[in-house]
Structure 1
Amino acid sequence: MSSLLNFIDYRARARQRLPKALFEYIDRGSEDEQALLRIRSSLDQITLTPSLLNGVDQPELRTPLLGQALAMPLVIAPTALAGLVSFQGEIKLARTARDLGIPFCVSTQSVTTVEEIRKQVPDANLWFQLYVWKDRNLTRQLLERVQAAGVDTLVITADTPVSPKREYNVRNGFSIPLKPSLALLLDVLGHPSWLVSVWLRQWLASGMPSYGHYPAQFRAAVTQQTVHEAVRLENRLTWNDIRQIRSGWHGRLVIKGVLSPQDALLARDEGADAIVVSAHGGRNLDIAPAPIQVLPAIAEAVGGDLQIIADSGVTRGSDVLKYLALGADAVMVGRLPLWGLAAAGQQGATDSLRMLRNEMELAMTLLGAHSVRDCRKANVLGRQRALFVKPSPGAYPEITA
């Protein structure tokens, strides 16, 4: 693990260990992947000006968020099928979050259920991400399970009314459900370590991998070609649905996927406690703005009425500080802990986020920032230019080649 020094190293190790189809499912964007490029390019345009001679010894990363005290301003983002990256991947991410003093947001489409994660890691700070199913009664039953598991923060993903166009998934055969093909078979057989340590172990433990939270009568293996209408994602979700969920959910409510001040204000008016300013990691709408571009206007619109979490494109600790400086209270990270899982299981996930924490501390010391609060007062340059930046070709050459 000493050779893994940055995001690029973890990503490269994950690329070696995972089948190409699974790696690209996590790594890439949608359509022409311009949103993916725009996210990175926009972050790169932002600079923070240091304040000298402030005598910073050990920067303070502790952060209040939604009534909780976090050891640093990070949340492990919800990601589908983390259990295919590493055996019991969601449990390992929960342990990583516990050890680092941050929340782990469990996905509706995780392999392991929230009940089992809670059983295995009883002291983890678990959040839950909700995809609303077409059968609202089943959705209500799922939320009852989540609350019974001791989860008090619900994150509703609002930016995925339909499945985005990811052409590489079709070519690789990694659409869900999986579409068996000779190319996919050769891809999997070319990664025997993953085949044995992840897929085979999962199959021996509980059968073919599936979405663990789906009701038993509708729970299909990822290879099954049909998904029952009752558990298809609701494509007609409205603010009225948010209002109904709010009335029945007795904890904190977060709306994920906000990219405009207008939607941020609507989220506030419908009783949300926080929003996630997110472009879904560049994986959904290819013409969407980068979160860093719209974050200042959203933060100005909601003032202190809502707490703001941001995500998409974080590869360095300095990226986290840029989001904080432009109005976020905390940042979600998704791909990096998955690359850590692929590289070395739970230890890899933990080390990757420790690396991010160390980079934050180093950058804060150089900036002269004693605390996260000081980061929010940083002098931000490049902000206007970033609002209109055009992605430069080749930002991710190995993706676009």
Structure 2
Amino acid sequence: MVTRQFPRPAEIFELMSFKKPDLNARRRRLESALTIHDLRAIAKRRTPKAAFDYTDGSAEGELSLARARQAFEDVEFHPSILRDVSTVDTSTTVFGGPSALPFGIAPTGFTRLMQTEGEIAGAGAAAAAGIPFTLSTLGTTSIEDVRAANPDGRNWFQLYVMRRREISYGLVERAAAAGFDTLMFTVDTPVAGARLRDKRNGFSIPPQLSLGTIANAIPRPWWWWDFLTTPKLEFASLSSTGGTVGELLDAAMDPSISFEDLDVIRGMWPGRLVVKGVQNVEDAKRLAGLGVDGIILSNHGGRQLDRAPIPFHLLPEVVREVGSDVDIAIDTGIMNGADIVASVALGAKFTLIGRAYLYGLMAGGRAGVDRAIAILSEQVVRTMKLLEVSSLAELTPGHVTQLQRLVPRQRR
């Protein structure tokens, strides 16, 4: 029989402690986010549908993005045991320079439309975390202002080759003058992918108001207040705007881009040259033979060709073929630090986060980006400790099995 007694108040209070209320609403909501998916949910509540869907969506049926995320979820880890992991080293060297973590911020276009702090928040958070920040050709902050926000850190510039080549050449010269150390020559956007969410939402630059957008904005007055009371959006590479994002891209991009353009840009650029958007082994081998400094396996976050190859599935073969000659990085679908660890284990030198960073930005500006980086960093460290590796160099393909749902049929 259990002996019962009337509870004594002093004993009750010994077992209970009350959390001090936090009156800062932004800090409260960000601290409640334990995963990138949590940040996404907050971002969706706080951002008008058209801007959120531009970030969250991809091309056509959005199969490429879904498959990329599924590929990371279909990872089986193989941990070691009885190894000292009281401390782990997450630092790495990529494209000739250091990073405190095995991931950096990917280039994203029209960023200040998502939240007004835009690239400045991303660059500042990257500086604080000791990781690289990448500015897009279609960014909404100037090259020089990004450098001012991250004066001592690593800044990278992502380049589209425009129909008017002088625009692209001018951006290359400005990035070099501002001390950016790496140029991402992007090769997967001869034309814009069919981003159907944007078309259905009527998402355009500048935003076009309709009864639907006004109705959607009513519960989100803070977004419109920020948008209307901060400096006008400016695009370094676009002299005129008006139309959907896809229409703007189609007007600016040049489907005649070729290896000759790569040679021209290489002759202009004094730093590291990396090619972004590689999606097969043969192209990776050709680029390695040309002496580029790095290759980024990417299907543009699923925003270009739907049903494109899954970069994470492509990674092991590309590393086997050219990994000893060039640094291989990967993006698309990364939502967890475990995705990053799995990529490094299979040979990637580095990873890039796009949506994960933007969800944090929309959830809470600069503080939200800091939170996104902190979440991923904590997950990287925890996964490494549970695998019982104390440095990134100790990760090997033996730590990971890629479970595949999609297996090609035999060709006859």
Scaled by the length of structure 1, the TM-score of the pair is 0.89
1:211-290 matches, within 5 Å, as 211=235, 213-214=236-237, 218-220=239-241, 232-290=252-310
Distance 1:48 1:228, change over 3 A: closer
**Partner SS for 1:90:** helix
- Asked whether the 8 Å contact 1:242–1:270 carries over to 2, the reply is no
**Partner SS for 2:253:** coil
- Asked whether the 8 Å contact 2:114–2:362 carries over to 1, the reply is yes
Q: Which of 371, 388, 398 is equivalent to 2:407? A: 388
Distance 1:223 1:316, change over 3 A: closer
Q: Which amino acid in the other structure matches residue 43 of structure 2?
A: A
1:110 has 2:143 as partner: no
- Asked whether the 8 Å contact 1:88–1:112 carries over to 2, the reply is no
Look up the match of 1:172. Answer: 201
Q: Which of 337, 340, 346 is equivalent to 2:360? A: 340
Q: CA deviation at 1:83?
A: 1.4
Deviations 1:293-340 (A, max 9, x none): 111111111031110110111111100011111120010001111111
Aligned equivalents of 2:343, 2:207: Cα separation in 1:
36
Look up the match of 2:166. Answer: 137
Gaps of 5+ in 2: 1-29
- Asked whether the 8 Å contact 2:163–2:254 carries over to 1, the reply is yes
Look up the match of 2:189. Answer: 160
1:331 has 2:365 as partner: no
Q: Which amino acid in the other structure matches residue 85 of structure 1?
A: M
- Asked whether the 8 Å contact 2:123–2:149 carries over to 1, the reply is no
Q: Which amino acid in the other structure matches residue 141 of structure 2?
A: T
Look up the match of 2:43. Answer: 14
Q: Which of 301, 318, 321 is equivalent to 2:341? A: 321
Q: CA deviation at 1:190?
A: 3.8
Aligned equivalents of 2:244, 2:188: Cα separation in 1:
26
**Partner SS for 1:106:** strand
Distance 1:52 1:224, change over 3 A: closer
Aligned equivalents of 1:225, 1:363: Cα separation in 2:
39
Deviations 1:270-312 (A, max 9, x none): 3310011111111211111211111111111103111011011
1:125 has 2:154 as partner: yes
Look up the match of 2:229. Answer: 201
- Asked whether the 8 Å contact 2:345–2:400 carries over to 1, the reply is yes
Q: CA deviation at 1:227?
A: 5.6
Q: CA deviation at 1:110?
A: 0.9
Look up the match of 1:399. Answer: none
Q: CA deviation at 1:179?
A: 4.6
- Asked whether the 8 Å contact 2:191–2:249 carries over to 1, the reply is no
Q: Which amino acid in the other structure matches residue 42 of structure 1?
A: A
- Asked whether the 8 Å contact 2:154–2:181 carries over to 1, the reply is no
Q: Which amino acid in the other structure matches residue 200 of structure 1?
A: L
Identity over aligned residues, as a percent?
Answer: 36
Aligned equivalents of 1:68, 1:178: Cα separation in 2:
39
Gaps of 5+ in 1: 391-401
Look up the match of 2:11. Answer: none
Distance 1:179 1:122, change over 3 A: same
Aligned equivalents of 1:61, 1:226: Cα separation in 2:
41
Scaled by the length of structure 2, the TM-score of the pair is 0.87
Q: CA deviation at 1:389?
A: 8.4
Q: Which of 375, 388, 391 is equivalent to 1:371? A: 391
Deviations 1:108-132 (A, max 9, x none): 1111111122134322321000111
Bigger Rg, structure 1 or 2: 2
Aligned equivalents of 1:178, 1:382: Cα separation in 2:
42
Distance 1:314 1:129, change over 3 A: same
- Asked whether the 8 Å contact 1:210–1:221 carries over to 2, the reply is no
Q: Which amino acid in the other structure matches residue 210 of structure 1?
A: E
Deviations 1:182-221 (A, max 9, x none): 3223333442110002x1123xx2x3x231x126xx2436
**Partner SS for 1:255:** strand
- Asked whether the 8 Å contact 2:343–2:351 carries over to 1, the reply is yes
